[in-house]
Structure 1
Amino acid sequence: MDIVKVRIGDSVFEAKKSLLLRECEYFRALYRSGMVECHQEEIHVKDLHAQGFLIMLAVAGGERPTLNDDEILEAIECAAFFQAEPLAKHLQDLLSSDNCLLMYQASATYGLWRLHERSAKFIRDIYADLRKELKDLPQDLIEYVESQVPRAFVAVGSHTSCTADELPLAATRTVCYLEEDDRDWKVLTALPMEASTSLAGVTVLDNRLYIVGGVHGVDKRAVDASFCYDVVADTWKFLPGPRQPRYNLTLIGLEGCLYAIGGESSRTTMSSVEKYNVSTKEWSFTAHLPRPVAGVACAKAMSRIFVCLWKPMETNEIYEYIPHQDAWVLVSKLLKHQSYGHCMVAHKDNLYVIRNGPQDDFLRCLIDCYNIATGQWTSMPGHYGNSKGALFTSVVRGDSVFTLNRTMTLEYTVAGNMWKPRNQMKGFPRNGSVWTFLLRIPNERKSVVMS
């Protein structure tokens, strides 16, 4: 019989045995052991909260519930006791400025160490905002947070590949980071000669920078190699390029894989998507997008990949990629005048679609917010300045949105249904398009001032 009864306190739950074996190391070990408990009509679990087990079953069944503080505590207890990795991952996705201290302490108490580490890194990223609250933690927990490296705001300009003869003239082919204390940009590394960031796919996965595709020269010959930068070792590696060389693609990383989405090849727009498995170093085709697209707006929220496709004349469509189904699923539509979404970023369980303003006014953007938990759209009031495409470089860290152009770096705070300007720093003095992302840079690497 595939149905198992589990008694926790006064509550009895019925669950599929196959589901419990798949989701929980506790039950796998129990049934491997042949202990008498696994032959009983009911499995009794003591000193555990029923609500945590109910949340675990919901996550195992594919749900992604939002949790209040009490539910978070019981879910952490349950995830640690049953060694339920899917629940532990869901808790990591729920990390926010509102609950990170709670998760950090509770994960230390129950020994949920991946969540503990992730919480510490999250807190370190927003350390200045939590300085007062951190003082209430035990000293060892404070020291562990302070031992972490915060993510830095990093940028690279749009550069084609170059030859050895051209290299002395290519001093600007550098990846730079913003030193927020000094409010200035500093050099992190130089691009390899063979790498092109012009119309390339650029993303960060597991604190490594990846550059895929791009073009050589004015005739837009696609770069058929990929490049990976290890910020800790300060080394670049060549990687194989996608099976279909492409440029003007969108690149995003999830669960040890890179996804090269759409783009162009020989001036033809494509709907194909390829996945690069970092561990096997192999590319493979996945489900195609619903239609060809280049430079598509894309974001990762709650460990889920979303793209924003435009459908003439007034419609943005949000699609989600479902890895285990290998399918793109329509999630929602935004029907509005001047609706073309140029950029999309995620904060918590919200997707922010940044679109052109009235009469194709790119200098005054409109922003709409889609909540993936409730399925509701809201419009952020007013217009947002987009001088020289700053908003299209948006990157989220904690509750901050960093935007960038040649004139200035502007940091917003996400507050309710508004982005409020918080901090202004030096701009990034490079011509052309700019790629922005976040990296954890070891302290010993931070030294060279940008010229």
Structure 2
Amino acid sequence: MGSGASKKSAIKSVSNNRIISLPHQHSNEHINLLVKGLSVLRHNSALCDVTICINETENGPPLKFPSHKCVLAASSGYFRDKLGVSSHGFEEIETSAEPDLTSPKHVNVTLDFSISKKSMEVVLQFLYTAIFDAKINQLPAVLEAAVRLDIASLKRRCLNEIMNGFHTDSFQAMYKISNELDLSLFKDFLLSKIAADFVNFVDTDCFQRLTENELQDIVNNRNGTLSNNCIIPELQMFNAIIKWQKHDQRERIASAVKLLKTLHYAKIPQSTLSGYVINQSIVIDNKELFGIVENVLDADKKRILNRLKQKNSTHNGAGDVIMPTRTTVVVTGGRRFDQFTSTIRELNIKEDTWKEIGRMPSTLAYHQVAAVDNLLYVVGGLESSRPDVRGSAATWRFDPMKNEWETLQEMHQERAHFFLGAVDQSVFAVGGKSSNLIRTSVEKYNITTKKWEFVASLKAPRFSHAGCVYKHCLYISGGVVRKSSTTDLLRYEVSTNHWEALTPMRSLRSSHMMAAVRDRILVFSGECLNQGINESLSVALECYIPQEDQWHKVAQKISFQGEKECACAELDGLVYLIGGCGSNVIDHRNDVASYDAEKDEWKSVAKLPTRLRGASCCLLML
């Protein structure tokens, strides 16, 4: 008995001295109650021993937020300093010192920076509850508050939310914050996102608003120096800087020249340097920049450039060479009734006049033209109106600086009433017809090899469609398929050699016009055929937003007189519609108009010297 009693006594002694330590997950209930209790206390202004005073505006009255010192000091380095909590007061140390019970019971802390009431409420809610409840447009202000208040957890949360939902439209605001708050990693993130989506970024309003320093940082980081290793090609950056400068030509000219001088022109193809880059007015007008580009050209290109200077340039009183600098709309061929023409005319936009600048090797209508490196490619078409005439497979190239024509390899198939688009160093001929034979085929002309080859075909034979080039892709709309106009919208990815069907137009149309303008694609007029019978268009002008894959109705009718078979080109944000005919094909037109998509405004332009339909046009430097 004695021995048993002794054992029980020992066990009881051990049990009474045992320390109970629950695993962390079982303490969540207590933590939640503690957080909820603190939040309720703040909400009721109970036991609050500090008041935070903020100023939303310089002259406005201060706003007050009752709080608890222990919560603020535990979460914020800023408030620890303001409340006089030393570094020892925030670390767990063994001490026998008596607690300081003589400090004032209640203090006021006035923030030495501006912050909105909404942002302060978000900060306090996070400190008391760990709940982050902020709208997207509040994130920059809350992030700034988190950095200035030295709240690391809130700063990380804000940055994660901003990065996960980042859109290029907010780049400028975010970039300013990254500089002001010295957030280098966040700054690198922003620059890498812009580099990765630079093709789309240059078409945004945010890009046009960039300051010189902001654009300079993007230029400096274009060569894959950031974590995502994204590279912006030199030619793409060159075009972007010129586009940025044109938004405010007088104020930005010096900045643009400075930025252009930092580019590596040796990375741009020689043909592009001599045929495009060195012909830009901003390069020609600055001797130092012109010299930088000229020095990169190889010996052959320099000899060509010197010959072009002697042949095509004029001289001012000082004897300086003045190169052609005018980017203009050039219209080729077309027909007036049964008379086909080979005339090439330019529209002098400044003087609002038309001028003949040459003749094509053949009379043509329903052909197509495209410009690459300021060389004009003329492809296909019809040479007469006889119904038995087949389409042409001919391909010519015209050098406007030398006024010389070159005959190139013919297409594999004849075609007229088709679309021709240039992407990089290739020209694509899409669909069309030859006599009664309607094409599904698509051919690509490689400018380097000077050869045509077949690429991915259309799914259905198609002619009298319209097209444009946007973001290195071909877009085709409408056209006649099986004797009827269509609403189709197709996109050809050059890199993958693949056609994709997109959201169709709202109206059936063929023999219409199509143009890419900044971040949108516009289609104009045309005809609506239903098994060969002409019907009325439901919408005259539609707008397609590629980023949304959606069409929007712009106008039921437009003021331009030509309804179909017009020539169409875009220059500096304006779409030029030229010639064409009315619903009755004998109603040939010589009207010319420009459309400003931003302002939704039409403006009459100098009329053609003769009525024309079935012409084709593009842009050239003359």
SS of the equivalent of 1:332 reads coil
Q: 2:498 aligns with which of 327, 332, 337?
A: 327
| Number of the residue aligned with 1:344 | 514
Change (3 A) 1:89 1:108: closer
| Number of the residue aligned with 1:286 | 455
CA distance in 2, matches of 1:230, 1:426: 26
CA distance in 2, matches of 1:349, 1:123: 25
In the alignment, does 2:394 pair up with 1:251? no
Change (3 A) 1:373 1:92: farther
| Number of the residue aligned with 2:219 | 76
CA distance in 2, matches of 1:157, 1:282: 25
Greater CA drift, 175-184 or 384-393: 384-393
| Number of the residue aligned with 1:414 | 597
1:314 Cα deviation from its structure 2 partner: 8.7
| Number of the residue aligned with 2:325 | 149
In the alignment, does 2:381 pair up with 1:214? yes
1:197 Cα deviation from its structure 2 partner: 1.9
CA deviation profile, 1:100-154 (whole Å, cap 9, x unmatched): 8498356336436599x98998887xxxxxxxxxxxx999889x9x967121122
When the two structures are superposed, what TM-score results if normalisation uses the length of structure 2? 0.51
- Report the AA paired with residue 379 of structure 2: V
In the alignment, does 2:263 pair up with 1:111? yes
CA distance in 2, matches of 1:138, 1:431: 40
In the alignment, does 2:538 pair up with 1:371? no
Q: Which structure shows the higher helix fraction?
A: 2
CA deviation profile, 1:142-198 (whole Å, cap 9, x unmatched): 9x9x967121122123269xxxxxxxx99x532111233443221111121xx3422
Structure 2 stretches of 5 or more lacking a match? 1-155, 160-183, 293-321, 529-533, 580-588
Conserved 8 A contact 2:333-2:363 = no
Change (3 A) 1:120 1:378: farther
Conserved 8 A contact 1:297-1:343 = yes
1:76 Cα deviation from its structure 2 partner: 2.1
CA distance in 2, matches of 1:216, 1:147: 35
Conserved 8 A contact 2:396-2:408 = yes
SS of the equivalent of 1:438 reads strand
| Number of the residue aligned with 1:56 | 195
Conserved 8 A contact 1:248-1:263 = yes
In the alignment, does 2:535 pair up with 1:360? yes
Higher relative contact order (CA 8 A, sep 6+): 1
| Number of the residue aligned with 1:166 | none
- Report the AA paired with residue 325 of structure 2: V
SS of the equivalent of 1:56 reads helix
CA distance in 2, matches of 1:256, 1:139: 29
Q: 2:608 aligns with which of 427, 445, 450?
A: 427
Conserved 8 A contact 2:464-2:510 = no
CA distance in 2, matches of 1:89, 1:360: 46
Conserved 8 A contact 1:304-1:321 = yes
Cα RMSD (Å) of the superposition?
Answer: 4.2
| Number of the residue aligned with 1:260 | 429
Superposed, which structure 2 residues align to 1:182-261 within 5 Å?
182-192=351-361, 195-217=362-384, 218=386, 219-261=388-430
1:331 Cα deviation from its structure 2 partner: 2.7
Change (3 A) 1:229 1:322: same
CA distance in 2, matches of 1:88, 1:325: 23
SS of the equivalent of 1:387 reads coil
SS of the equivalent of 2:488 reads strand
CA distance in 2, matches of 1:105, 1:340: 44
Change (3 A) 1:180 1:333: closer
CA distance in 1, matches of 2:358, 2:231: 36
SS of the equivalent of 1:246 reads coil
SS of the equivalent of 1:155 reads strand
Change (3 A) 1:92 1:291: farther
Greater CA drift, 226-235 or 91-100: 91-100
Conserved 8 A contact 2:343-2:359 = yes
1:411 Cα deviation from its structure 2 partner: 2.3
When the two structures are superposed, what TM-score results if normalisation uses the length of structure 1? 0.68
Change (3 A) 1:230 1:402: same
| Number of the residue aligned with 2:23 | none
CA deviation profile, 1:222-251 (whole Å, cap 9, x unmatched): 333211111111001111111122222221
CA deviation profile, 1:50-94 (whole Å, cap 9, x unmatched): 4212333456xxx84566345755432211574965455555676
CA distance in 2, matches of 1:106, 1:371: 34
CA distance in 1, matches of 2:446, 2:523: 29
| Number of the residue aligned with 1:316 | 487
The percentage of aligned residue pairs carrying the same residue is 18
SS of the equivalent of 1:292 reads coil
SS of the equivalent of 1:394 reads strand
Superposed, which structure 2 residues align to 1:11-26 within 5 Å?
none
| Number of the residue aligned with 2:334 | 158
SS of the equivalent of 1:176 reads strand
SS of the equivalent of 1:412 reads strand
1:335 Cα deviation from its structure 2 partner: 3.7
SS of the equivalent of 1:316 reads coil
Conserved 8 A contact 1:157-1:430 = no
| Number of the residue aligned with 1:40 | none
SS of the equivalent of 1:258 reads strand
Conserved 8 A contact 1:183-1:426 = no
CA distance in 1, matches of 2:500, 2:383: 34
SS of the equivalent of 1:345 reads strand
CA distance in 2, matches of 1:305, 1:268: 23
- Report the AA paired with residue 79 of structure 1: R
Conserved 8 A contact 2:512-2:564 = no
Change (3 A) 1:357 1:287: closer
Superposed, which structure 2 residues align to 1:27-66 within 5 Å?
49-57=188-196, 64-65=200-201
Superposed structure 1 runs of 4+ greater than 6 Å apart: 117-124, 137-142, 311-314
1:428 Cα deviation from its structure 2 partner: 3.6
CA distance in 2, matches of 1:149, 1:415: 26
Structure 1 stretches of 5 or more lacking a match? 1-9, 12-44, 125-136, 161-168, 442-451
Q: How many residues are treated as equivalent by the alignment?
A: 367
Change (3 A) 1:326 1:427: same
CA distance in 1, matches of 2:238, 2:459: 31
Change (3 A) 1:327 1:72: farther
Conserved 8 A contact 1:249-1:264 = yes
Conserved 8 A contact 1:80-1:112 = no
1:370 Cα deviation from its structure 2 partner: 0.9
